[in-house]
Amino acid sequence: MEGRAVNEPVLAVLCGGTSPEREVSLGSGKFVASAMAYAHPSEMYVVDGDALPAGLDPAKHVVCSTLHGIFGEDGGMQRLLEAAGFHYAGSDARSSELCFDKWRTRQTVSAVGVQVAPGRFFNAAKKPAPAALAAELGDQVVLKPNRQGSSFGLQLVTSKAGLQIAIGGLRQGDWLAEKKIIGRELTVGLLRGRAMGVVEIVPKSGVFDYASKYTKGLTEYFAPAQISEEIGTLVRQFSETAFAACGCRDYARLDYMLSTEGEIYFLELNTLPGMKETSLLPMSAACVGLDFNALCCELVAPAVERFRLGRTLKK
């Protein structure tokens, strides 16, 4: 951009991608690019393949990705950006790859004292007998692909017969089976490793699947969640601990279940959460006084700082 100071980047907002979440990403990208423009010159790039879009320049651009799912959150795009010398917002390739793997993430956060629901990892080619799985986890089980975003493939099974049908229908891939925790679903966003407000998610179907996430009217949200100060403090502490243990950077969103007995169970860590104005991360930010435009600027601020420092060191 003519007149741009050498240390001042143009923000390149990536959206689209090749995963099933392409349409969600296109929406996020549009909102983020518009919000970023209040503080920085911004350009939006629609990603149509598993490659960097044409026109990006590491000497000019700081990248803010709103890609979701495979080749968005799994470290694929991040590895390309790093190899090409770009500064970008969000977690690096190693952390992104870890957090996209639900089983590895569970193991990582459990090792630092964050409680997870009883669960089992398996490949569809060697799937467990439904009766054995029910004996281990109970009749109510949540089945989900181990490496997939936005609740794609998630199934809530509520009976032994239903579990037999669900397990029998798995044909390929790695899967995670978790004991269904009865209670309230909570989520919290983090900025620079610090937790913001806790939000409660109340899907009318009882499960926060893809339809509940993206179909208007199927889910209620309470921001902030109506929980005790003690529970809120614990959720935030667990989130900051998990964020650090997984090597995350800049921002993320973490999801939990609060059981009817008052126990907090980690569900997953999302390194590139949805970024429409009505998405969960903006709801969490609003709880601490950050509107959508301010949040978007905060998301990219550390990457802008890294860009400026890199340009200064090259002088």
Phi and psi angles of residue 38, each rounded to the nearest 5 degrees, phi first: -70, -25
CA–CA gap between residue 121 and residue 299 (Å, rounded): 33
Nearest of 202, 191, 187 to residue 289 by alpha carbon: 191
Q: Which residues make Cβ contacts (< 8 Å) with residue 220, sequence separation at least 6?
A: 202, 204
Q: Is 143 within 8 Å of 154 (Cβ atoms)? A: yes
Copy the structure tokens of residue 304: 């802008």
Residue carrying the six token digits 């893809």: 210
CA–CA gap between residue 129 and residue 275 (Å, rounded): 40
CA–CA gap between residue 213 and residue 194 (Å, rounded): 25
Nearest of 154, 163, 149 to residue 71 by alpha carbon: 149
Residue carrying the six token digits 């700082």: 305
C-alpha angle 301/302/303, rounded to 5°? 90
Nearest of 43, 33, 55, 41 to residue 8 by alpha carbon: 41
Residues labelled catalytic: 21, 150, 214, 253, 255, 268, 270, 274
CA–CA gap between residue 235 and residue 43 (Å, rounded): 36
Element containing residue 300 per DSSP (H, E): helix 292-314
Beta-sheet strands, E only, within 204-289: 219-222, 251-259, 264-270
CA–CA gap between residue 146 and residue 164 (Å, rounded): 19
